[in-house]
Amino acid sequence: MPRIAIALGDPAGIGAEVVLKAIQQIRELQPNFNPLLVGCRHWLETSFAQLQAQGIGGLCSPAELELLHLPLNHSISPGQGSAASGSAGFAWLTAATEAVLAGDCTALCTAPIAKHWWHAAGHHYPGQTERLAELCNAKAAAMLFTACSPHNGWRFNTLLATTHIPLSKVSESLTPALLEKRIEQLNNFCLRFNPAPKLAIAGLNPHAGEEGELGTEEIEWITPLLNKLRCPANNGQAGLNLEGPIAPDSCWLGASEAWHQPAAAGPNQKAMDGYLALYHDQGLIPTKLLAFDQAVNTTLGLPFLRTSPDHGTAFNLAGKGIARAESMVAAINTAIELG
């Protein structure tokens, strides 16, 4: 059983609840699962006691868990994010990453943080992915979302070419070198599941540019780049199996069919092994529509696998005992399976 480090996220959010629920569910099937939690023991024990007092069951007791204790310096109330909670989440992520880099754990799973509270604490990163890249000196860290359909087990993979940047900066940030690197990363990930993966590349502009009427990037360099990558390499290696650039509004239609198809119907021929979105919401909208509770944010390009649930801190739910743990279960299981 791989040893997974779990950073507990923003202490004002739902991190404690979903992690304790998720570990309890996983241990019902894998009793020897023993992660390393990174956070404040007193805060975790208090959160557990408060949830128990509300009659919330299905929680793993902190007393049964190994924890790297980094105490909170300020009182944190559920749902009340602050610079103090942002500072704690930042410190916990950093320490968990260092534990994995030191070889104490094989993979990292992170509970959600609130970026604006990181910023209030003086940590000006677009998100956890960028902090991880800095800690690992990783120049090409990428965000990929993966999920297995509960209907048939088909694996859905979407990688983002660009991540947490304003929409106005996407065109200048998206270069041929970056797009080629992201296609390589997506293909390498999909090779875990298919020796000859098929990849769908979304267009940047509406209707993939409409032959230059709605944008010229597809004509000027995206399509020529895809054509180059389709060709066999000089060393005889086969070219990549790429479709695109595809109009973004229809790029994920085959994924939707494959996700919902009954298992008895067999494989869906329209489905791709991987989808490449060129900017954040282009990929996150279909991902959350299809697989909100199952999708796992997976960071590629690090020296280890990092996963995270595909939801935020949910400050409005914190401390109420009603947060759902399905996405955290999926995140931890993905770290166990692929890490």
Listed by start position, the domains of the chain span 1-139+301-339, 142-300
Residues in Cβ contact with 63 at an 8 Å cutoff, skipping those fewer than 6 apart: 45
CB atoms inside a 10 Å sphere around CB 272: 26
Please provide the CATH number assigned to the domain covering 1-139+301-339: 3.40.718.10
Cα distance between residue 85 and residue 74, in whole Å? 8
Give just the sign of the alpha carbon dihedral 206, 211, 217, 219.
positive
**pLDDT of amino acid 263:** 87
Q: With 0.85 as the threshold, say if the pTM is over it.
A: yes
Chosen CATH of 142-300 out of 3.40.718.10, 3.30.365.10, 3.30.450.20, 3.75.10.10: 3.40.718.10
H-helix segments, 112-250: 115-120, 128-136, 170-173, 176-190, 217, 223-230
**pLDDT of amino acid 234:** 63
In tens digits, the chain (339 residues) has pLDDT values of 889 999 999 999 999 999 999 999 999 999 999 999 999 999 999 999 999 999 999 999 999 999 999 999 889 999 999 999 999 999 999 999 999 999 999 999 999 999 999 999 999 998 898 999 999 999 888 999 999 999 999 999 999 999 888 999 999 999 999 999 999 999 999 999 999 999 999 999 999 988 899 999 999 999 999 999 998 876 667 789 999 899 999 999 999 999 999 988 887 778 899 999 999 999 999 999 999 888 899 999 999 999 999 889 999 999 999 999 999 999 999 999 987
Tell me if domain 1-139+301-339 and domain 142-300 are identical in fold: yes
Q: Residue 116 is encoded by which pair of tokens?
A: 């604006």
pLDDT digit string, tens, across residues 13-69? 999 999 999 999 999 999 999 999 999 999 999 999 999 999 999 999 999 999 999
61 to 33, 152, 189, 322: CA distances (angstroms)? 14, 33, 35, 18
pLDDT digit string, tens, across residues 77-91? 999 999 999 999 999
